[in-house]
Amino acid sequence: MYADLLEGAAIIIGGGIAGLLAARVLSSHFKQVMVLEKDVCPEKAIPRNGIPQSRHIHILLMKGKQILTELFPDLESVLISKGAHKVDLLADVKYHLATGFAMRLKSGMYTIACTRQLLENSIMGELLIQCQNVKIIYNTRVTSLTKCKNGNRILGVNTLSNNALSDFYGAQLIVDATGRRSETVQWLEKIGFGKPPELKINSWIGYATQKYKMPTDLNLDWKSLIVLTNPPVNPRMAVIYPVEGDNIIMVGLLGIGKTYPPTDKGGFMEFAKQIGVDEVKEIIEKSTPVSSIFGYREVGSRKYLFDRMKKWPDNFIALGDSVCSFNPMYGQGITVAAMCAKILKNHLENNITNYPIKKGFGQSFQRKVAKVNSFPWLLGTSEDLRWSSSEGPRPNLLTKIMQKYVNDVMLLGPESEIATRSFFAMLHLLRSPLVLFHPLIILHILYKKLVKNIKK
């Protein structure tokens, strides 16, 4: 049916945030961009089946917020108008570390807090306003890829709609943005491209999340409260996060190493008490539930090393969670998808002058994606591997030293402004780990170790 759209057409498989961002980028380079989404068309910002964790907290890291507002200049004002919150990452967020609460100060770094569904729905709305050549086709599941008989190109995708009708969509470029449950490995192996190496870190995480309406007389001096885990003592974590609605918050309880938070009222409260920070329990007790408690479990992190495959299609690429899915506890997924979209924008500008797409386009893009993924992967999995319950390749000596140093910097949060600014700039993917090696931070850590040794 759509084979005649081949010239100047691009296909994106998956209509989540990664797919919508890719569509925005591709709209500047292709005559028509088709987004194929297996879910039904959402009439409003509500959770959908294709995003099983959509009822849970999604933190938009500062780097992600920067890229989203570059791609969609009106997005921030649209979100705020719909009830989202502007949150300074240090002044408005109260972080609890093993050594106490981190310093509170105006950082100049802020993000937008809202539900995942409001963010996705608003991105979709801005995309369709800005890009008249983008079409989202719902109820359409991609079942396989079709390869040309001679050469290294994908002709298009085979699909099945919810009314059991099959179809073929041809395109010059095909993008997999289907996320954590991507079938790219199976599709490529089936048509002769082989399988990629794979890395897994199984950290066995679980969430339980409930929405609450807070009373207006609490007079809190923060908008969000985040209690981090404390390896190896306490595998529990809590996030209280403002979302759209009249004084509405989401309370997320998280556990690692199969320390799964319960989804019944009593178990939820008991888990909150075991976190060890009274404010978490008090907010729950003083607020009124406005939703059920929803649970979600995930094995951990997984990365496909597509960049190391001997053969890769010239005109097929994968990005976001389809390539590298992170432990959701660290909130990296949306931001890394945005970073991949920015890499795709630059890659297209440097490589596309006309059709067909030139040889090696796909493989060179996957190498760039691998570089984007490397730092957040190291950041998240290094933390996971501090738990003996996590399964996967153990870190080498250099990585262990780096882990220890990063943790030492984080624990300076209650007493060092420069350490606090530097650590959270890195955590939000604004700066590389090199920012942690400021001479004042190094001296502070050495001083604390010296004092500790003297006391011994």
* Predicted pLDDT at 352: 66
106 CB contacts (<8 Å, ≥6 apart)? 88, 90, 91
Q: For residue 46, which phi and psi values (nearest 5 degrees)? A: -130, 155
* Predicted pLDDT at 4: 40
- Write the single-letter amino acid at 253: L
* Predicted pLDDT at 164: 73
Q: Strand 173-176 to strand 134-137: parallel, antiparallel, or no bridges (unpaired)?
A: unpaired
How far is residue 255's CA from residue 261's CA, in Å, rounded to a whole number? 6
Distances (CA, A) of 428 to 96, 123, 228, 336: 17, 21, 15, 11
How far is residue 161's CA from residue 169's CA, in Å, rounded to a whole number? 13
Q: Which two tokens stand for residue 324?
A: 């590298």
* Predicted pLDDT at 170: 94
H helix and E strand count, the chain: 12, 19
Closest CA to 20 of 71, 64, 66: 71
Taking only the tens place, the pLDDT of each residue in 378-419 is 989 988 998 999 999 988 888 888 888 999 999 999 999 999
In the chain, which residues fall in CATH 3.30.9.100?
A: 80-115+203-299
- Write the single-letter amino acid at 260: Y
In the chain, which residues fall in CATH 3.50.50.60?
A: 3-49+117-199+305-380
CATH code 1.10.150.120 for 80-115+203-299: no
Contact 257, 217 (CB under 8 A): no
Contact 159, 141 (CB under 8 A): yes
Q: Which two tokens stand for residue 289?
A: 């539930």
* Predicted pLDDT at 3: 42
* Predicted pLDDT at 41: 75
Query: What percent of the chain is helix, strand and coil (3-state, nearest 5)?
Result: 40, 25, 40
* Predicted pLDDT at 357: 82
Spans in the chain with pLDDT lower than 50: 1-5
Q: Which two tokens stand for residue 395?
A: 């870190």
**Which option is the CATH number for 3-49+117-199+305-380: 3.50.50.60, 3.40.640.10, 3.40.1190.20, 3.10.129.10?**
3.50.50.60
**Where do the DSSP E strands lie in 61-195?**
85-88, 93-97, 100-101, 110-113, 134-137, 140-147, 154-161, 166-170, 173-176
Q: For residue 318, which phi and psi values (nearest 5 degrees)? A: -130, 145
Q: Which two tokens stand for residue 249?
A: 């918050």
The H-assigned helical ranges of 330-427 are: 333-351, 361-384, 397-410, 417-427
